[in-house]
Structure 1
């Protein structure tokens, strides 16, 4: 397929993939030299508090990872050892034996100020001590420790070192509880291994939610036992007519398990009542007159709809949500609800009220796109806002109406956070219906102030979606995500911050991406060669 297509409406649309190039292609080059120790605060997202001290702590062949008697601390310690052993060549035994030296991982329930995800990192001559109240905080502390080591620590073969960490203390707590990234696997399918690779990259930047857009007009990507044709018919193709694919239930369980091991919660999205051409093609009885229809392989939106007045529609919705909820241990289940242009306003309100009730029936909290304003939100509902600077006053008023009914918001402004949008007009990949999104623009917004009239406490957090109309490979996905993913990660964790300072920390990540084999866009807005 051609990668230069551009859709209307919202147009939603591991290791490997080294790239060489300049500002207009996948790049390698710049970043920190392999043995250079970053400054204590030069990490992404920016820590809450940084107190540097003189000197460095050095990991050696005698360094142990001390985890005490906690199974949760041991799990994080084993993860850390697995990261560091290949490049350092050090044995780094994980031990319950106490000691004043080495890397010390501590869980302390009395550290209430650190909350569910905060941590403290203390680096001295004798040791590096990571302290948290909860395992997630300890895991996030490890991500900061990684970034404080030379970039070559990310390589999977032995490197010369030395392996130094700057001395001092970092105390760090996130601004928002929800810090997400979404992958659209419906327009083009991405395998379990590809998703696991992306999960590892998200974890490095303290993203804690993985939103999977599992169904759309172009493909149904998750097995549903009670409706098997959804995958035998609805999963066989993709945008442009290419090959499709789907996750078996075991595949999905593996993604959930792997994400949980990196402290990410998986949020499945089944898009209703629009974006349903793959389902309608799989089961003609879901169409108004039971007529046969085709799976859509183009990029147009807003033409499909479930039949709101049919009983079988709600049998279908109940079965699908029940089976997906059974597979999903997390709190949230996303039901889409956007671009339902083929559904009358009256039918939309009826359908969304019934679908939300089914989500609650199976013990989940409903998430929907902000078009939920066209229906009555369920108690506790969450709306995901994808508007942008030119979104109409009426649409923003609808969002304010949701907030007035107690709905919390996930902010995904398309002209700031959509990773599938073009960096420049010359880019081959990506869409541009919400405008061009260079790296500086992806950072230049404040979640607490983005929507006038929305109080900060109504903002649950932020999310960076990547829609895949033009993206088919891991390298393409990474090129569009990096470096912009880090802008959303920082807005979710650190909230504030200035571009001139962030761009330096961002440039310092390039050597790490190259060590990990991540393909990225070498934006001219970032001083890659100045760090």
Structure 2
């Protein structure tokens, strides 16, 4: 129980946040004992010689120093006492790649993980246990206390993603890095970048330079567009890696390709390049499946992007190929998937890929609706039972570009209105009929950007729905409960404000006065 309503405000403020009352909710919480308080003497201690632990310690110090005003030196000293200890332990294999254990008491806080990613996820928990003002970049009054007890936490699903469409509207490297930092707070581990579409090609390809120079020169509504140089893309990948997020680049094909077709006449069956496109219709473009040049193009693009991408996956799209016959679609995917493998990557495709023959190890990303046809769901389920892993992105649940209500100024509504409860209140493990939970690799929240053109728009549409998707991906199914979640989410409001995130104040959530 919290302090009585009669308690003075400052005293309420001083009470530590109850252990585990964060987003995503941890797998196991054992509260108890007195809290830990950060002081001028607090040090962040890490394993000697562990570059990864020191980097995570430096990241933590970078969050805490501006708001607390404390020096918080990061020191190689895992044998000492007190402060905040970050330690990697080979023997803690039960914590897996991303799990951690947080132990807090008056003598200090210890974060233990098997792998560096686990330490980083644990730091997000520590962050959220501190008052929301810790996120501010100027000195705040404090106090800075962490409730006593133990959190032991591992994720339910390995893939917890967010997709950003940089094709409909272009977003700069700094804008993408800002989103990466926001995603990190909620333990998201995958950034899927939709790098090509009818309206824009956003990545430099040396062997086909007009893709970016011409195909990247506009966007929805006719703005200037833009593209990432290879160094730009490397910087996004580097920053994501520092937040333990894997970048999945997507080149959508054979449809959604007008920007490429406009850049090179030879990619068109009639040899005539169409004009650049700045509208929002879908399904009208297709690569020429019969032309040998098409596969030279695909090979070059995949080779260059694979070389820039340390992650395991390359997304080949495959959705809404309405201008490609079924036979051509199957033939195209049969040709293209081995090219991805040739360059050392694993295929991800939108779930229409299951209408062809997914390559061994491929993942299909389901973006259908609750009301999608039984036949469409059965096709996906067949592929899943045959070994194709699934990423769940149902459009009427987790498409972050859907309007909350009919009054939402941004966004679209073709999949329906998606309020905060709707985006949270479903179970990925039991969502698709006849799909075993073992086939579900995780969840991903796409943000398509036909109506989204600035970071403030991302903030408004992703938050507060994205934290709920993150919780679906991380937290055990048994913890899933809207009534308790909405209270924890409400407590994220001041934290998002402190971070400069102008989130949507959904009336479904009891936001505190700020």
Quickly name the TM-score band, shorter chain normalised. Answer: over 0.9
Q: TM-score, normalised by structure 1?
A: 0.93
Residues 34 and 151 in structure 1, CA contact (< 8 A), matched pair in contact too: no
The question of 1:65 aligning with 2:65 is answered no
Hey, what does 1:88 align to over in structure 2?
68
Instruction: Look up the match of 2:494.
Output: 511
Using the TM superposition, give the Cα deviation of residue 529 of structure 1 relative to its aligned residue in structure 2, in angstroms.
Answer: 2.5
* Partner Cα distance (1:456, 1:501) in 2: 24
How far the C-alpha of 1:144 sits from its partner, in A, is 0.2
Q: Indicate whether 1:399 and 2:380 are aligned.
A: yes
* Shift of residue 95, structure 1, vs aligned partner: 0.6
Count of residue pairs the alignment pairs up:
500
Is the CA contact (8 Å cut-off) linking 2:85 and 2:110 kept in structure 1? yes
Q: Secondary structure at the match of 2:316?
A: strand
Q: Secondary structure at the match of 1:489?
A: helix
Please tell me the root mean square deviation across aligned C-alpha atoms, in Å.
1.2
How big is the shift at 1:296?
1.4
Secondary structure of 1:372's aligned partner: helix
Written as runs of structure 1 = structure 2, the 5 A alignment for 1:54-203 is 54-69=33-48, 70-97=50-77, 98-203=79-184
1:44 is matched with which residue? 23
**Counterpart Cα distance in 1 of 2:325 and 2:13:** 59
Superposed, 1:287-298 pairs within 5 Å as 287-298=268-279
1:271 deviation in Å? 0.3
* Residues 290-315 of structure 1, C-alpha deviations (whole Å, 9 max, x = no match): 11211211111000000000000000
For the 8 Å contact 2:99–2:118, the answer to whether it is kept is yes
Q: Hey, what does 1:235 align to over in structure 2?
A: 216
Deviation at 1:240, TM superposition (A): 1.1
Deviating 4+ runs (over 4 angstroms): 32-36
Q: Residue 285 of structure 2: SS of its match in structure 1?
A: coil
- TM-fit CA distance, 1:530: 8.3
Q: After superposition, give the CA deviation of every residue in 1:314-366 in whole Å (9 maximum; x if it has no partner).
A: 00000000000000000000000000000000000000111101000000000
Whether the 8 Å contact between 2:165 and 2:193 is mirrored in structure 1 is yes
Instruction: Choose which of 290, 303, 311 in structure 2 pairs with 1:309.
Output: 290
Partner residue of 1:529? Answer: 512
The worse-fitting range, judged by mean Cα deviation, of 33-42 and 192-201 is 33-42
Instruction: Name the TM-score, length of structure 2 as normaliser.
Output: 0.96
Higher relative contact order (CA 8 A, sep 6+): 1
Please say if residues 507 and 526 of structure 1, whose CA atoms lie closer than 8 Å, have aligned partners that are also in contact.
yes
Which position in structure 2 is the counterpart of 1:24? none
Shift of the alpha carbon at 1:393? 1.1
Give the equivalent residue in structure 1 for 2:485: 502
Structure 1: runs of 5 or more not aligned:
1-31
Which residue does 2:257 correspond to in 1? 276
Q: Show structure 2 runs of 5+ residues with no match.
A: 1-10
SS at match of 2:429: coil
2:27–2:476 Cα contact (<8 Å) kept: no
- What do the CA deviations read for 1:360-411 (whole angstroms, capped 9, x no partner)? 0000000000000221111111000001111011111110121132100000
Query: What is the CA distance between 1:446 and its match in structure 2?
Result: 0.1
Q: Aligned runs of 1:124-523 on 2, under 5 Å?
A: 124-496=105-477, 497-523=480-506
Distance of 1:83 and 1:530 partners within structure 2: 24
CA contact (8 A) 2:385 2:439 kept: no
| Between 250-259 and 63-72, the greater mean CA deviation after superposition | 63-72
Whole-angstrom CA distance in 2 between matches of 1:104 and 1:300? 53
Q: CA deviation at 1:33?
A: 8.4
| Residue 113 of structure 1, CA deviation | 1.1
Give the secondary-structure state (helix, strand or coil) at the position aligned to 1:477.
helix
TM-superposed deviation, 1:501: 0.4
Q: Would you say the 8 A contact 1:65–1:104 is kept in 2?
A: yes
**Deviation per residue, 1:469-509 (Å, 9 max, x gap):** 00001001110000000111000001421000000000000
Return the offset for 1:273.
Answer: 0.1
